């Protein structure tokens, strides 16, 4: 955990990723890979702070990309070709994607028909052959939040069992399936059962199966031994398959906070809001989108309405408010053990995965810096943002 002694030496606001916590996650993932011969690759959509990639490279060899830019990041900064899946490739980008890819998964047979010839022409002249797959949709979901459910009726993702041809078309070497989000191994077990029942006949004909992301193997209560046993059993049933898992969150899960500070404290009808130098909508967008209330260090998370109680002010119960003009840019409630002071640090825990890739510069608000706390205690400030970063996004 970033200790107080370090907090004064970094810019504020700042995301701080901690090498020690990252290595703890990576070691666990590596040990699962070694015991199962299943490959774990990093999903950039959840984490892409490329200056930390040398640490990842000590444990894993590959990454997954969902766009041309992520594929380029894989090739140029991670140093290996990406497993690429995009809901819809476009002509103008596809050739460049191929130069950065080892695997390309199509979302539909119409995309396959459109691009397979380009891939086979590429493979005829390139030493690095690209393996193609098709995304399947098992219509089985372990995700309750609709926003994150790729298998809901009407979903745009993947081919249904009823839409599969009897024989897979030429050049399809693998199947890809993503239907998890922060799930446990028992959800994967249920999903594998459905995949087996619905797609078993095609699984015997391909060389790889990518089981997508959403496997939160680094969460403290995750049953790793159960995961290992179900992966081994599936591999035993389909020895022809190379199995790949592409989580994102699991790699960066609980690897560091967003450090902010109180800029003002206002009161309205007895509700106290501490306005911060960060914003939920700009710098922690998942809190509003999911929604979920993040943990704040040294504060107790209470029911959102707790700040409306008559004795809330006396009990140091606050809403925390962002510094954007969006009326809903606040969350609450948190109880502190003292009256908050202007200038005081507020530390939001676990703000690395997804958060650092989803930030924006709405309202021109200063973007938090990004720092890496090395195991030896050195702090590397990887990036400070300036006015020019905002200006250059705006044209």
Ligand X SMILES: Cc1ncc(COP(=O)(O)O)c(C=O)c1O
Q: Which of 13, 174, 213, 321 binds ligand X (CB under 6 A)?
A: 213
Residue 7 buriedness (CB in 10 A; 0-12 / 13-18 / 19+): middle
Applying CB under 6 A, does 81 fall inside the site for ligand X?
A: no
Closest CB 136 distance from ligand X, rounded Å: 12
Applying CB under 6 A, does 214 fall inside the site for ligand X?
A: yes
Closest CB 71 distance from ligand X, rounded Å: 14
Closest CB 262 distance from ligand X, rounded Å: 31
Please, which residue, 40 or 334, has the CB nearer to ligand X?
40
CA torsion angle for 21, 24, 25, 30 (degrees, to 10)?
Answer: 150
Given a contact cutoff of 8 angstroms between Cβ atoms, the answer to whether 214 and 45 are in contact is no
Please, which residue, 43 or 331, has the CB nearer to ligand X?
43
Applying CB under 6 A, does 62 fall inside the site for ligand X?
A: no
**What stretches of 147-287 adopt beta strand conformation (E)?**
172-176, 208-210, 242-245, 258-268, 271-276
Please, which residue, 83 or 383, has the CB nearer to ligand X?
83
Q: Which of 178, 261, 319, 367 binds ligand X (CB under 6 A)?
A: 178
Given a contact cutoff of 8 angstroms between Cβ atoms, the answer to whether 29 and 225 are in contact is no
**Coil vs helix vs strand at 173:** strand
Please, which residue, 80 or 309, has the CB nearer to ligand X?
80
Neighbours of 329 (CB within 10 A): 24
Applying CB under 6 A, does 174 fall inside the site for ligand X?
A: no
Reduced DSSP (H G I as helix, E B as strand, rest coil) percent helix, strand, coil of the chain, to 5: 35, 20, 45
Residues in binding contact with ligand X, number by CB under 6 A: 14
Closest CB 156 distance from ligand X, rounded Å: 12
Please, which residue, 241 or 299, has the CB nearer to ligand X?
241
Applying CB under 6 A, does 85 fall inside the site for ligand X?
A: yes
Q: Which of 13, 133, 212, 368 binds ligand X (CB under 6 A)?
A: 212
Closest CB 389 distance from ligand X, rounded Å: 26
Vertex 209: Cα angle to 203 and 215 (nearest 5): 130
Applying CB under 6 A, does 46 fall inside the site for ligand X?
A: yes
Q: Which of 13, 133, 248, 332 binds ligand X (CB under 6 A)?
A: 248
Closest CB 176 distance from ligand X, rounded Å: 7
Two tokens, residue 186: 């028992």
Closest CB 70 distance from ligand X, rounded Å: 11
Give the CA diameter of the chain.
Answer: 74
**Coil vs helix vs strand at 44:** coil
Applying CB under 6 A, does 247 fall inside the site for ligand X?
A: yes
In the DSSP assignment, the letter for residue 183 is B
**Coil vs helix vs strand at 68:** helix
Please, which residue, 248 or 332, has the CB nearer to ligand X?
248
Two tokens, residue 99: 């130069």
- Cβ contacts of 309 within 8 Å, gap of 6 or more: 315, 317
Closest CB 239 distance from ligand X, rounded Å: 25
Vertex 272: Cα angle to 290 and 359 (nearest 5): 35
Q: Which of 25, 26, 45, 277 binds ligand X (CB under 6 A)?
A: 45
Closest CB 64 distance from ligand X, rounded Å: 6
Given a contact cutoff of 8 angstroms between Cβ atoms, the answer to whether 139 and 160 are in contact is yes
CA torsion angle for 114, 119, 121, 127 (degrees, to 10)?
Answer: 170
384: closest CA among 128, 76, 45, 11?
A: 11
Q: Which of 29, 43, 307, 331 binds ligand X (CB under 6 A)?
A: 43
Please, which residue, 181 or 259, has the CB nearer to ligand X?
181
Stretch that binds ligand X, among 51-59, 206-214, 268-276, 377-385 (CB under 6 A): 206-214
Two tokens, residue 93: 């980008």
Applying CB under 6 A, does 249 fall inside the site for ligand X?
A: yes
Q: How far apart are CA 199 and CA 205, in angstroms?
A: 10
Closest CB 88 distance from ligand X, rounded Å: 13
Interacting residue ranges for ligand X, rule: CB under 6 A? 43, 45-46, 85, 178, 181, 212-214, 246-250
């Amino acid at each position: 955990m970033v200790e107080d002694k370090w907090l004064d030496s970094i810019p504020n606001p700042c995301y701080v990723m901690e090498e020690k916590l990252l290595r703890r996650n990576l070691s666990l993932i590596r040990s699962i890979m070694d015991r199962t011969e299943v490959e774990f690759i990093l999903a950039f959509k959840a984490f892409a702070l490329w200056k930390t990639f040398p640490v990842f490279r000590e444990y894993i060899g590959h990454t997954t990309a969902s766009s041309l830019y992520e594929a380029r990041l894989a090739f140029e900064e991670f140093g290996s070709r990406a497993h690429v899946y995009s809901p819809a490739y476009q002509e103008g980008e596809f050739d460049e994607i191929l130069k950065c890819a080892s695997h390309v998964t199509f979302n539909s047979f119409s995309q396959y028909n459109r691009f397979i010839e380009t891939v086979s022409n590429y493979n005829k002249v390139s030493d690095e052959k690209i393996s193609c797959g098709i995304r399947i949709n098992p219509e089985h979901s372990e995700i309750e939040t609709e926003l994150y459910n790729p298998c809901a009726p009407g979903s745009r993702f993947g081919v249904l069992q009823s839409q599969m041809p009897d024989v897979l078309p030429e050049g399809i070497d693998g199947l890809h399936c993503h239907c998890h989000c922060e799930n446990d191994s028992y959800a994967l077990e249920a999903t594998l059962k459905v995949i087996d029942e619905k797609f078993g006949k095609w699984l015997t004909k391909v060389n790889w199966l990518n089981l997508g992301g959403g496997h939160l193997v680094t969460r403290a209560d995750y049953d790793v031994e159960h995961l290992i046993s179900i992966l081994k059993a599936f591999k035993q049933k389909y020895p022809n398959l190379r199995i790949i898992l592409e989580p994102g969150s699991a790699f960066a899960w609980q690897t560091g906070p967003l450090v902010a500070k109180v800029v003002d404290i206002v009161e309205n009808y007895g509700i106290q809001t501490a306005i911060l130098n960060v914003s939920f909508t700009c710098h922690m967008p998942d809190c509003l989108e999911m929604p979920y209330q993040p943990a704040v260090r040294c504060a107790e998370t209470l029911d959102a309405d707790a700040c409306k109680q008559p004795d809330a002010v006396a009990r140091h119960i606050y809403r925390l408010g962002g510094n954007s003009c969006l009326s809903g840019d606040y969350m609450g409630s948190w109880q502190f053990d003292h009256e908050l002071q202007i200038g005081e640090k507020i530390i939001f825990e676990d703000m690395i995965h997804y958060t650092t890739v989803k930030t924006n510069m709405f309202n021109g608000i200063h973007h938090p810096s990004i720092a890496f706390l090395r195991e030896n205690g050195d702090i590397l400030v990887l990036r400070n943002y300036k006015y020019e970063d905002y200006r250059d996004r705006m044209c």
